């Protein structure tokens, strides 16, 4: 295998499927209910066409950008995904090392299999911490304090999960989530598993469904256009289809990021052209981790970076700042051009 490495994310997905027990693969790959949004997250990228420019000197391509004052060699961030031990015994420690070796920011999930402290000490890197708000605010507060003292630089507040979406594969498989090392104090919570998925029962017992817009009063330094990888509300729009509207509404006040369905460097390019400052990728890194551990997760990030570089060169863009709205044609553009 090592002589014959996958050449794209889809091939990593196939390897991950072979490597993992069905329950783990279904959990990682699955979406909510009919998985309409899951398919759309990817398909909507396929409906956006690139408009290349030629005869531009692209002998130097600079993919670097900044976010919240941090320099990034490329606009690709590792999205928060829980339970990396499902994919590999080294779990988030391996993912963190992979991200660090690419100088990519990793957002550590509240549902990580390894403790915040273990991930922090596994390697040096800029990292953000993803926070769920629990019914007991002091539980969330303690997580924030721990992340802060471990040097995490920003909080990514997940607000789309007042309860877990219906992931039918998990219900069928009676999904058991690896105990989150960070939530020891919630271990004694009574979890009703009659619904099938233990994770769903845990989320229902612990997440605060009363979270409201008042949370915004604290201020935000960025917005992420996300549908949780299509795992929450099925028939919610594909994120790339919603991006431009959000970018317009935010009007430059804070950077806008997007995740969901990014499987190619061309997808990253399209997201940037439609106004995203950076993108986050979830499943691709998880698939890499499942297939080849740290090396696989790193290779996925490297491949996406490599694909983005080629896309930029072939579109005549020497820096991310040169990627503009005029480099893409959306379905809306095509319809408007016919009117």
Ligand X SMILES: Cc1cc2nc3c(=O)[nH]c(=O)nc-3n(C[C@H](O)[C@H](O)[C@H](O)COP(=O)(O)O)c2cc1C
Q: What are phi and psi of 50, to 5 degrees?
A: -90, 145
Which partner from the list ligand X, ligand LXCWX6NK, none does 260 bind, CB cut-off 5 to 8 Å by kind?
ligand X
Our answer to whether residue 228 is catalytic in this structure is: yes
Is residue 261 a contact point for ligand LXCWX6NK (CB under 6 A)?
Answer: no
Furthest C-alpha separation in the chain: 64
Which lies closer to ligand X via its Cβ, residue 28 or residue 104?
A: 28
- The binder of ligand LXCWX6NK chosen from 45, 114, 128, 132 (CB under 6 A): 132
Which lies closer to ligand LXCWX6NK via its Cβ, residue 135 or residue 318?
A: 135
CA–CA gap between residue 10 and residue 284 (Å, rounded): 8
Which lies closer to ligand LXCWX6NK via its Cβ, residue 65 or residue 109?
A: 109
Interhelix angle 265-273/283-314, rounded to 10 degrees, is 70
How many Cβ atoms sit within 10 Å of the Cβ of residue 308?
26
105's tokens: 């920011």
75's tokens: 């606009």
Task: Print the binding letters for residues 215-254 with ligand X: x by CB under 6 A, - otherwise.
Answer: -----------x-xx-x-----------------------
**C-beta of residue 217 within 8 angstroms of C-beta of residue 177:** no
**C-beta of residue 130 within 8 angstroms of C-beta of residue 99:** no
Is residue 6 a contact point for ligand LXCWX6NK (CB under 6 A)?
Answer: no
What is the DSSP code string of 133-185? PBSSHHHHHHHHHHHHHTT--EEEE--S-SS----HHHHHHT--PPPPGGGGG
Task: Print the binding letters for residues 231-260 with ligand LXCWX6NK: x by CB under 6 A, - otherwise.
Answer: x-----------------------------
Binding positions for glyoxylate are 27, 132, 167, 228, 231
Give the residue numbers marked as catalytic. Answer: 228
Binding stretches for ligand X (CB under 6 A): 27-28, 41, 79-82, 109-111, 130, 158, 226, 228-229, 231, 259-262, 281-283, 286
Binding stretches for ligand LXCWX6NK (CB under 6 A): 82, 111, 132, 199, 202-203, 206-207, 228, 231
């Amino acid at each position: 295998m090592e002589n014959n490495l996958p050449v794209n994310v889809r091939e990593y997905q196939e390897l991950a499927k072979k490597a993992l027990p069905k329950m783990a693969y279904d959990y990682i790959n699955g979406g909510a209910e009919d998985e309409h949004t899951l398919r759309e997250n990817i398909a909507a990228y396929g409906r956006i066409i690139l408009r290349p420019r030629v005869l531009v000197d692209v002998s130097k391509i600079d993919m670097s950008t900044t976010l919240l004052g941090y320099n990034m060699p490329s606009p690709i961030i590792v999205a928060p995904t829980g339970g990396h031990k499902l994919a590999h015994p080294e779990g988030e420690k391996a993912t963190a090392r992979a991200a660090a070796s690419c100088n990519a920011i990793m957002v550590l999930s509240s549902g990580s299999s390894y403790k915040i402290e273990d991930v922090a000490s596994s390697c040096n890197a800029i990292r953000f911490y993803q926070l769920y708000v629990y019914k007991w605010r002091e539980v969330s507060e303690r997580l924030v304090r721990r992340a802060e003292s471990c040097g995490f630089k920003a909080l990514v507040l997940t607000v789309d999960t007042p309860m877990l979406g219906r992931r039918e594969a998990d219900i069928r498989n009676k999904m058991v989530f690896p105990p989150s090392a960070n939530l020891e104090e919630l271990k004694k919570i009574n979890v009703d598993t009659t619904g099938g998925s233990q994770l769903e029962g845990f989320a229902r017992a612990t997440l605060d469904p009363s979270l409201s817009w008042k949370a915004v009063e604290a201020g935000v330094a960025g917005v992420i256009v996300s549908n949780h990888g299509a795992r929450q509300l099925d028939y919610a729009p594909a994120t790339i289809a919603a991006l431009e509207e959000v970018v317009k509404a935010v009007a430059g006040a804070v950077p806008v990021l997007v995740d969901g369905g990014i499987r190619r460097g061309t997808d990253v390019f399209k997201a940037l052209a439609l106004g995203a400052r950076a993108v986050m990728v979830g499943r691709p890194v998880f698939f890499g981790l499942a297939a080849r551990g740290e090396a696989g997760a790193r290779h996925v990030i490297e491949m996406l970076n490599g694909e983005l570089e080629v896309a930029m060169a072939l579109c005549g863009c020497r820096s991310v700042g040169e990627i503009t709205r005029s480099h893409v044609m959306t379905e809306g553009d095509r319809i408007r051009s016919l009117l």
